[in-house]
Structure 1
Amino acid sequence: MTSRAAGASLPGLTGTPLDPDQEEARRLLQEELDSGDYRVEESWLVRLWRWFTDLLPDPASFGPLPGWSTWAILGVVGAAVVAGVLFVTRDRWRAARLSPTGPAGAVLDGMRRSAADYRSAAREAMDAGRLDDAVLEAYRAIAAGAIERTLLEDRPGRTAHEVALELGPTFVDSADALRRAGDVFDAVRYGDHRASTDQARAVLELEARLAQARPELGADRHPGLVVPS
């Protein structure tokens, strides 16, 4: 019985005796743990925290510190981590804010008016501080003006996204601005978004710029096209 035990081996450790000394047992245990079977994958948050704390100086190098300093340091570190997370996710939150809560509908809904009427209503709303109305009326002026100039077909039910998509090739330099203005229109008209002063001003300025801009498509592709001189 004794000789068999002395000659036996640990599972997975061929030729290793069952009765190693303390130092040998510690070494064998460490090798087993390092083999990979017992490793736990840390979450990205834990790795981020470890990376950040490694950048901090050793508190012991500052000598004795008052008790409240620990909480102050933790507060600063926590604020830095929160700021980092907000910075990384800012684009996703912005897109969510500008996403309409329901399906987007037509830009020129209800009783149709001329581009000049929509433009005048947008300016009056802007002056009165009704920013949502200013955005809606200004974007409707863009759509109505494009129809009057035969840059767009007079098709009922055209959405803000479709207006931006169809006018983008005609006004290449303003294609991105058209897309952004269309997003704001949908978010205000069909979502819960409230327009800011900068957003309302941007749509009004875009409308004024497009009204005077020369289309980049030839008149032969748009019969009856009215090109400003």
Structure 2
Amino acid sequence: MAAAWWAAPRTLAAAVPLDPDADEARRLVGDELSRPEYQAARPTALDLAAQAVGDWIARLFSGAGDGLGDLVPLLIALLAVVVVVVAFLVFGAPRRDRRRADADRDALFGIDDRRSAEELRRSADAARRAGDLAAAVSDLFRAIAREQAERTIVAVDPGTTARGFSRRAGAAHPAHADRLLAAAADFDGVRYLDRPGTEESLDRLAALDRDLRTAVPVRREPVATGAA
């Protein structure tokens, strides 16, 4: 490339008449500069863009030219914000995951219910005394499910349905499988079909709860891997 530039004067001199007029001189210069070696030596658009970016960065950090150096503190602040955001995404996610895991563990048939089995039983008794039999049926069935989860017999996951729980609890307690399915039907009736609870259904649930509390399961499932 450099050789082309050094050779250019000699080439141009050899081709130029001794005394050209102005038009002839312009034509000769144009012809000379259109030669391939001159075109190859010209910077490309990418070269020009890279040079412009490099000049801009140099002016930015040197504080020279158009006051761009005033942007350096702003860029440093933006960089600090980016670092904080990245750290939050990296180190904050596990905390959110732990909170989500806690909420999943506490979910019971569609709601976030953190009460223990004993607390649910007390709530069912209070609702029954207050005449709210539907709430009593709902809480007592939840107490049965929570008891099985607390004893690590049946896993109760966020997507677990009452009927799904009863089928799996019935596999762990075959002698009570039919009663568990009937209890799930009572729960679904008051929970989703707006049916009123009855004293009879509460008596059945209370008897089932007592029997399951002392029953020895024939199998257990991992608490973390239940399915609906």
Q: Which TM-score bucket, shorter chain as reference?
A: 0.3 to 0.5
Higher relative contact order (CA 8 A, sep 6+): 1
Higher helix share: 2
TM-score of the superposition, structure 2-length normalised?
0.47
Q: Larger Cα Rg: Structure 1 or Structure 2?
A: 2
TM-score of the superposition, structure 1-length normalised?
0.47
